[in-house]
Structure 1
Amino acid sequence: MSTRLSDRGLRARAVAAAVAVARVHGVRCTDPVVLADRYNVRVHLRPAPVVARVATTTALVRPDPLASLQRELAVAGFLAGRGAPVVPPSDELPPGPYRYDGLAVSFWRFVARGPDRTPRPDQARRLLAELHTALRDYPGALPYLAPWEELGRVLDALERTADPGARDPAPLREAYQRLTPVLRTPRGPVRALHGDAHPGNLCVTAGGVLWNDFEETCAGPLTWDLACLRRTSRLDGRAALEAYGHAPDDAELEPYVQARRLQSVAWSLLLARRLPRHAEHAAAQLQCWREWA
């Protein structure tokens, strides 16, 4: 693992990078607040209505973090222009992406979340269906199931950084190799997807519910996004799918649900390598996956 990306000062560097780039473009920030520090550092550049996203853990396995941010901005900008319910790129400054101090940075409009952070199953179903409709005409090129291909690099990183006390990633690699031929054979038409369409990426605001976090946007069959919704623990995923209309049954979804479980565990383990405070949660996820597998 890169020492530069795993050092303890990364969070401070991410905040400094966000503030510095914003300042160049005339956005004044006197009170930056870190909203999240896990796979990326997200910073509210108060008092400006701007949130910076700085790639951190994700940059460990992305050969070109700027390209990933560019795809995310392009898709979210397209959807916002169509009036789709999404958190849009910032209009306070060019949203990027930028590189500063070796870090990739993008800028987004700040939206205040409401007290109820979990949408109802019927809301999740409706919003996902509307999102897929809006994405039908997306004109840009998107990589096929990029989150799955990226998982191979996550496993590479886990294997490279293994130490005597680390969990053996070999069973995860075996599952990845078993599922890869299935996922590389599309079930149904290939189209633009959110890529990480679980309810945690829905922002419940006073003005409505908005999709967020398109960094895993990709092309693929609808079953990928539907599996994201099906396996969520935040709401009744089966109920949400039944209301989607023409949704596949659990047997058809199963390999995609397995893929999402594997993806979640592997990323959690990688996060724990960078931020040891997440090690207990990652170990629990791995144990659940082993019992399920």
Structure 2
Amino acid sequence: MNDFMTPQETARRASAAVDAAVGAGRDLGLTVTDARVLHDLFSVVVHLAPSPVVARIPVVLPPGTDLDALAHRQRAELDVTRWLAAQGTPVIPPSPLVPREPVRRDGFSMTFWQFVEEDRGREPDYAANAESVAKLHAAMRGYPGRLSFLSAAEPQTLAEDLARLDGRPDLIDPSDLDRARREWRVLEPLVSSRTAFEKAFPGIGIQPIHGDSPPANIFSGADGDLYSDFELVTLGPVEWDLAALGPEIESAYDRGARRNGVRELDGDVLRFVNAVGMLRAIAALALAPQLPVLVEYLGPAVDQWRTTPFAGGMAD
């Protein structure tokens, strides 16, 4: 089946997102004469220069994505980052130059952020980042807003993406897909129900967490590191934010946890979140027709998953 977007089609998609962001920014009173794409993968991120504003426009989404539901998630991100910034936590904050609300235009739902100059000469130090994430978790414990339990796992979307992979041997071997579906039947109840999770893991606290691998989402600003990309902010165990990053990163987090007064990682919960994280990588293959590079990006994750215990050992 050859339904993969061509480079020309993905370029047109990015151009349409930029045009929508420029138009929305101008409607909001921003001066935009030199828009510049900073990043283009799952989202198009564009600096609306010369205004110190960055628009982020999600462009790779499951078919039939409800833009109202997307906007709800974007509002949570805007509120959490606004609150963290007000507490003095180093985050990339929403832009103060426009209303802190998602904006819909031309079929896109976008958010607007303060432009921060990047220190492009620095290589990420993921161990140091993981230590820092413990401090972020300590700060997030006080967030007063309402968040859903493990919405970052996107259980409905995950199930639908696995279904879309049926009959797609070009994306995943049928035997691998069968295993993934069987694993999801084991793991889904603990993802979808806080009560079931707390019964399976008694004494493991639930709190607001970043939701999307924060050690990999720390922005190297010219004036210091900033936490960024809270698109999947959620309630959950802190282990979720360290899923699939390996023992070295887990140990680094524990050092930060001891220093910042949060609990260290629990091995049983890590096995659970690692297993769910692997399934999310498998399910993401369903988005490869929209983003063909995913086949290459996710190949190593699929190979690693094949070597792991079934459902992370949760079925034992």
Note the aligned Cα RMSD (angstroms).
2.5
Once residues 39 and 69 of structure 1 are traced to their aligned partners in structure 2, the CA distance between those partners, rounded to angstroms, is 15
Once residues 61 and 288 of structure 1 are traced to their aligned partners in structure 2, the CA distance between those partners, rounded to angstroms, is 31
Where do residues 54-65 of structure 1 align in structure 2 (5 Å cutoff)?
54-58=57-61, 60=63, 62-63=65-66, 64-65=69-70
2:52 counterpart of 1:49: yes
Where do residues 65-214 of structure 1 align in structure 2 (5 Å cutoff)?
65-114=70-119, 115-119=121-125, 121-125=127-131, 127-148=132-153, 150-160=154-164, 162-163=167-168, 165-167=170-172, 168=174, 169-183=177-191, 184=193, 185-186=197-198, 187=201, 188-214=204-230
Residue in 2 that maps onto 1:276: 292
Once residues 143 and 62 of structure 1 are traced to their aligned partners in structure 2, the CA distance between those partners, rounded to angstroms, is 18
Residue in 2 that maps onto 1:236: 248
Residue in 1 that maps onto 2:314: none
Q: Secondary structure at the match of 1:247?
A: coil
**Matched-pair contact (CA < 8 Å) for 1:118–1:199:** no
- Can you list the C-alpha shifts for 1:59-96, whole angstroms capped at 9, x where unaligned? 64753211111111011111111111111001122232
**Matched-pair contact (CA < 8 Å) for 1:57–1:271:** yes
Q: Secondary structure at the match of 2:26?
A: helix
- Can you list the C-alpha shifts for 1:142-163, whole angstroms capped at 9, x where unaligned? 0110022x14413413533654
**Matched-pair contact (CA < 8 Å) for 1:38–1:271:** no
- Between Structure 1 and Structure 2, whose CA radius of gyration is higher? 2
Once residues 155 and 212 of structure 1 are traced to their aligned partners in structure 2, the CA distance between those partners, rounded to angstroms, is 28
Residue in 2 that maps onto 1:264: 281
Residue in 2 that maps onto 1:218: 234
**Matched-pair contact (CA < 8 Å) for 2:134–2:253:** no
- Can you list the C-alpha shifts for 1:125-146, whole angstroms capped at 9, x where unaligned? 1x22222222222121101100
Once residues 253 and 171 of structure 2 are traced to their aligned partners in structure 1, the CA distance between those partners, rounded to angstroms, is 37
**Matched-pair contact (CA < 8 Å) for 2:22–2:48:** yes
Structure 2: state its 5+ residue gaps.
310-316
**Matched-pair contact (CA < 8 Å) for 2:82–2:93:** yes
**Matched-pair contact (CA < 8 Å) for 2:102–2:110:** yes
Task: Compute the TM-score of the two structures, normalised by the length of structure 1.
Answer: 0.86
**Matched-pair contact (CA < 8 Å) for 1:117–1:203:** no
CA deviation after TM superposition for structure 1 residue 252, in Å: 3.9
Structure 1: state its 5+ residue gaps.
none
**For residue 154 of structure 1, what is the amino acid of its counterpart?**
L
Residue in 1 that maps onto 2:13: 10
Distance 1:81 1:147, change over 3 A: same
Of 65-74 and 46-55, deviating more is: 46-55
Distance 1:257 1:117, change over 3 A: same
Q: Secondary structure at the match of 1:99?
A: strand
2:267 counterpart of 1:250: yes
Distance 1:31 1:70, change over 3 A: same
Once residues 274 and 96 of structure 2 are traced to their aligned partners in structure 1, the CA distance between those partners, rounded to angstroms, is 37
Once residues 106 and 134 of structure 1 are traced to their aligned partners in structure 2, the CA distance between those partners, rounded to angstroms, is 23
Distance 1:83 1:223, change over 3 A: same
Distance 1:196 1:110, change over 3 A: same
Percent identity over the alignment is: 31
Distance 1:158 1:48, change over 3 A: farther
Once residues 181 and 44 of structure 1 are traced to their aligned partners in structure 2, the CA distance between those partners, rounded to angstroms, is 41
Q: How many residues align?
A: 283
Once residues 98 and 46 of structure 2 are traced to their aligned partners in structure 1, the CA distance between those partners, rounded to angstroms, is 15
